[in-house]
Amino acid sequence: MSLNDTPSSERIHIGFFGRRNAGKSSVVNAVTGQELSVVSDVKGTTTDPVTKAMELLPLGPVVIIDTPGFDDEGTLGEMRVRKTKQILNRTDLAVLVVDGTVGLTDTERQLTGIFKEKDIPYLIVYNKSDIAEKRVCQENEFEVSALTGENIYELKERIAALAKLPAEEKRIIGDMLSPGDMLVLVTPIDAAAPKGRMILPQVQTLRDILNADAMAVFTKEFQLAETLDKLSSPPKLVITDSQAFAVVSKIVPESVPLTSFSILMARYKGFLETSVKGASAIKTLNDGDTVLISEGCTHHRQCGDIGSVKLPVLLKRTTGKSLNIELSSGREFPEDLSKYSLVIHCGGCMLNEREMVYRRKSAEDQNVPFTNYGIALAMMNGILKRSLGIFPDLAGKIE
């Protein structure tokens, strides 16, 4: 996958934080070498988070986020501060920009406290070194001048050194394959499918298969039986869109392993086991319980949409209960989950690992069961154990 094709969810997210007029946007522009953010002497020029996917050498593909001042005031200011706090949930590395002529204030101390609480590595960058008095910097502190460019190169080198790259490459399915393995990928093309392209989990799964020197055949659900008949031998695995589980499971022989893109994404994002445990809550839902169905992306919901239509219908049919269904999408995710009896999340392909960890942990900390679309659909179609067959340790826990 080329640089331009690297999804935002696979890039390191670097957030720039601080008070108004500390020079955050100027430092962002200096670091990126672009006029990414509007710069002004007027306090509060940055009113909304500014996000840019780009390459930052020597680190590579990143997402740069310039945030509003954390000391913003008034009703709108409070809303902007709330947005900034949301940004922290997906920040892999924080850069705290301080006005070097003023020094640390309670606002910066509050931010460093949040960084530590959320276990976010951070740098403290004293801007305006061209006019501020020189200071003795600690290990994670830096003096720069966005105006003159002093120490900007060194700051980029320090950011690259501090950013946490994965210790080992994560795989969706490739580590479970051998060269020459044949897989069948079932991808329904309905009204909800994006026009002219495949969805991200399908593309990422295909690339991981090819990286393993295995082979893949794509087909629609109504062509699956014909596709299997044309293969000279049974495939190593069939991977389907979770929405087609009910149809596909009846076509694929029991001897052929079957799973879904969503289940593989839960594995890739690190919350497969949590999802399997959380799905058991479906059996215990009662009349009046509230279920949150959360999407990581903001696509236009259409007739037959999995989150807003298919899952609620299947939930009520499976449980026989009168349930309250609430929806969230994109970056919006409730901080207080106490009123929910269950959270059903999408595969999270548009969210980076840190944000998915935050959402899962929020549910765990509030004792709210957390599962994902694929696991929930497999369970409600009575094929959860089969869909986890390639993960015997998990499948063995299913009654």
Encode pLDDT of 57-73 as tens digits. 778 889 999 988 888 77
Tell me what the mean pLDDT of segment 245-253 comes to.
Answer: 95
pLDDT at 86 over 50: yes
Do the bridges between strand 93-99 and strand 12-18 make them parallel or antiparallel, or are there none, so unpaired?
parallel
User: Among residues of the chain, what percentage have pLDDT more than 70?
Assistant: 90
Reported as a single tens digit per residue, the pLDDT across 287-340 is: 999 999 999 886 555 545 788 888 999 999 999 999 999 999 888 899 999 999
pLDDT at 304: 59
Beta bridge partners of 125: 97, 142
Percent of the chain topping pLDDT 90: 63
Give pTM, 2 decimals.
0.82
The per-residue pLDDT for 307 is 82
Q: 34 or 167, which is more confident?
A: 34
Distance set, CA 44 to CA 14, 67, 69, 149 (Å): 20, 10, 6, 23
Would you place residue 1 in the very low, low, confident or very high pLDDT band (cuts 50, 70, 90)?
Answer: very low
**Confidence band for 387, pLDDT divided at 50, 70 and 90:** very high
Range of lowest pLDDT (64-68, 107-111, 197-201, 352-356): 197-201
E strands present in the chain: 12-18, 50-56, 60-66, 93-99, 122-127, 141-143, 182-186, 215-219, 237-240, 258-260, 290-294, 324-328, 342-345, 370-372
- What pLDDT is recorded for position 353? 87
Q: Which of 43-52, 53-62, 137-146 has the lowest mean pLDDT?
A: 43-52
